[in-house]
Amino acid sequence: MTKNLCVIGLGYIGLPTAVMFANHGVRVHGVDVNQRAVEMISNKQLHIEENGLQERLDKAIDSGMLTVSTEPVEADAFIVAVPSPIREDRTADLEYVRKATASIVPYLKKGNLIILESTVPPKTVEDVMLPELEKSSFKIGEELFVSHSPERVIPGRIFEELEQNGRIIGGINEKSAEMTKELYEAFVKGPIELTDATTAELVKVMENTYRDVNIAFANEMAKIGEHLDVNIWDAIRFANFHPRVNIHQPGPGVGGHCIAVDPWFLVELAPEQSNIIHLSRKTNDGMPEFVADRVMEFVGDSERKIAVLGLSFKADVDDMRQSPSIDVINNLQEKGFTVASFDPHVKDDSHPTQVKSIEEAAEGAAMVLILTNHKEFKDLEPGQVADAMDEKIIYDTKNCIDLPAWKVAGFRTYLLGDHKDNTNE
């Protein structure tokens, strides 16, 4: 039974995972190369935003079950939860995984279990992790046990989903998978399925690719809806009444550490077999430019100010990784617009266009552009910004504002995927 666990990487997945184990009877040592993050965590301060994390971190630190530093320690099991981004050329950058694996080699002992949680291209355990682990003096599969158990959680609901969601575990052999299952049974209530490592890697990438393809379909339907003068949000809602239909929602693009990244793993590994996947990626990556073009059409003059609401990729979190909002802003600036952005969940110095309030963003602006459906924006009233604006235009790309109320207040209102209402009055 695992009594001591070492978690490498204390970001959006690693820290909640470490805290979860620590609060379920496993002594955890967390490791991160970011000295500032380590200092904050040790002082019970958060460097990321997640519902329920603060109180769980307080409990883990106060109980002594969680310690943190920049260096690994000996343990019964190791979890690697580090980034697996893509490069400029859309190929996988697995250096974080390789370096994290290499960092634990001096601390390994006979019988250790090493688990990769990062979402990675299929064959990463086999081609990246095992060569590093073989540099130890232990025989892989007999003295060291290795598996892949990808996270399946969404920001904002991480703790609920860590506990309730099913888990896929892929071991390099049966014993590796069984040992991993026994560890996660400390808190996982959902079903745990066992397979081999490469299958587990593919399953996680497939799950995120399915969502990316579905969103691309929704974005394409939004463009078709505008062409046909149909409100695509209503059409999707009606279509989803069908018991075998689940169309996702359109938007200004796709962000986050998974959906905007993982499909490229399959394009890289099997370019001739991934035509739909590749086209979906291009469709979703093209939405920020589509939105910026619409802004130009609606405003009519690029020498104007746009108030952008939302920098994170998802509602009510601070995560800006791969956020389409950043690409929209870049496209607007390239067209000559001045941009002032506001996001109540993102630290003030995270982006150069940031200001400290919605009212400041709206001061002298021609348009309010909503890119993230934070609760604060859903509750926004026209009177908060109307008097400060140079012209009253609002463009909602997330269908989160009561646009009829804004129209009554004298605004020209525009909705992504509903060109019927996007006419100048």
pLDDT tens for residues 31-42? 999 999 999 999
Does the pLDDT of residue 155 top 90, yes or no? no
Quick check: is 202 in a domain?
no
> Is the C-alpha dihedral spanning 293, 295, 297, 300 positive or negative?
negative
Which of 181, 204, 392, 398 is labelled catalytic? Answer: 204
| 373, two tokens | 């459906």
One-letter identity of residue 102: A
Does the pLDDT of residue 421 top 90, yes or no? no
Quick check: is 421 in a domain?
no
Q: Do 105 and 70 touch, CB atoms closer than 8 A?
A: no
For residues 213 and 186, state if they share a domain. no
How do residues 321-372 score in pLDDT, each as one tens digit?
999 999 999 999 999 999 999 999 998 788 999 999 999 999 999 999 999 9
CATH classification of the domain holding 111: 3.40.50.720
- Structural domain ending residue among the three candidates 190, 222, 250: 190
For residues 22 and 162, state if they share a domain. yes
For residues 183 and 248, state if they share a domain. no
Does the pLDDT of residue 384 top 90, yes or no? yes
Does the pLDDT of residue 225 top 90, yes or no? yes
- Structural domain ending residue among the three candidates 190, 218, 245: 190
- Tell me the β-bridge partners of 412: 393
Stretch among 142-146, 154-158, 187-191, 359-363 having the lowest mean pLDDT: 154-158
Quick check: is 24 in a domain?
yes
For residues 133 and 223, state if they share a domain. no
Which of 6, 181, 258, 400 is labelled catalytic? Answer: 258
Quick check: is 179 in a domain?
yes
For residues 248 and 153, state if they share a domain. no
Domain holding 25, by residue range, is 4-190
Q: Do 27 and 65 touch, CB atoms closer than 8 A?
A: yes
| Of the candidates 162, 397, 408, the residue with the CA atom closest to the CA atom of residue 293 | 397
Q: What share of the chain has pLDDT > 90, as a percent? A: 93
Q: Do 136 and 108 touch, CB atoms closer than 8 A?
A: yes
Quick check: is 199 in a domain?
no
CA-based end-to-end distance of the chain: 69
One-letter identity of residue 399: N
For residues 266 and 181, state if they share a domain. no
Quick check: is 163 in a domain?
yes
For residues 132 and 216, state if they share a domain. no
Quick check: is 162 in a domain?
yes
For residues 165 and 223, state if they share a domain. no
Quick check: is 425 in a domain?
no
How do residues 165-205 score in pLDDT, each as one tens digit?
999 999 999 999 999 999 999 999 999 999 999 999 999 99
Q: Do 44 and 19 touch, CB atoms closer than 8 A?
A: no
pLDDT bucket at 1, cuts 50 / 70 / 90: low
Cα angle 374, 376, 378; round to 5:
75
Instruction: Decide if 400 is catalytic.
Output: no
Q: Taking residues 154-165, report their average pLDDT.
A: 93
Q: What is the rounded average pLDDT for all residues in the chain?
A: 95
| Of the candidates 349, 318, 348, 346, the residue with the CA atom closest to the CA atom of residue 11 | 318
Does the pLDDT of residue 425 top 60, yes or no? no
- Structural domain ending residue among the three candidates 190, 225, 250: 190
CA distance linking residue 413 with residue 45, whole number of Å: 41
For residues 8 and 66, state if they share a domain. yes
For residues 153 and 18, state if they share a domain. yes
What pLDDT sits at residue 257? Answer: 85
Backbone angles phi, psi at 283, to 5 degrees: -60, -50
Q: List all residues 6 or more positions away from 134 whose beta carbon is below 8 Å from its beta carbon.
A: 140
| Of the candidates 116, 96, 311, the residue with the CA atom closest to the CA atom of residue 200 | 116
For residues 343 and 231, state if they share a domain. yes
Does the pLDDT of residue 420 top 90, yes or no? no
Structural domain count, the chain: 2
How do residues 286-319 score in pLDDT, each as one tens digit?
999 999 999 999 999 899 999 999 999 999 999 9
- Tell me the β-bridge partners of 116: 80, 148
Instruction: Decide if 258 is catalytic.
Output: yes
For residues 160 and 305, state if they share a domain. no
Q: Taking residues 121-147, report their average pLDDT.
A: 97
How do residues 267-284 score in pLDDT, each as one tens digit?
999 999 999 999 999 999
pTM here? 0.92
CA distance linking residue 39 with residue 3, whole number of Å: 25
Does the pLDDT of residue 108 top 50, yes or no? yes
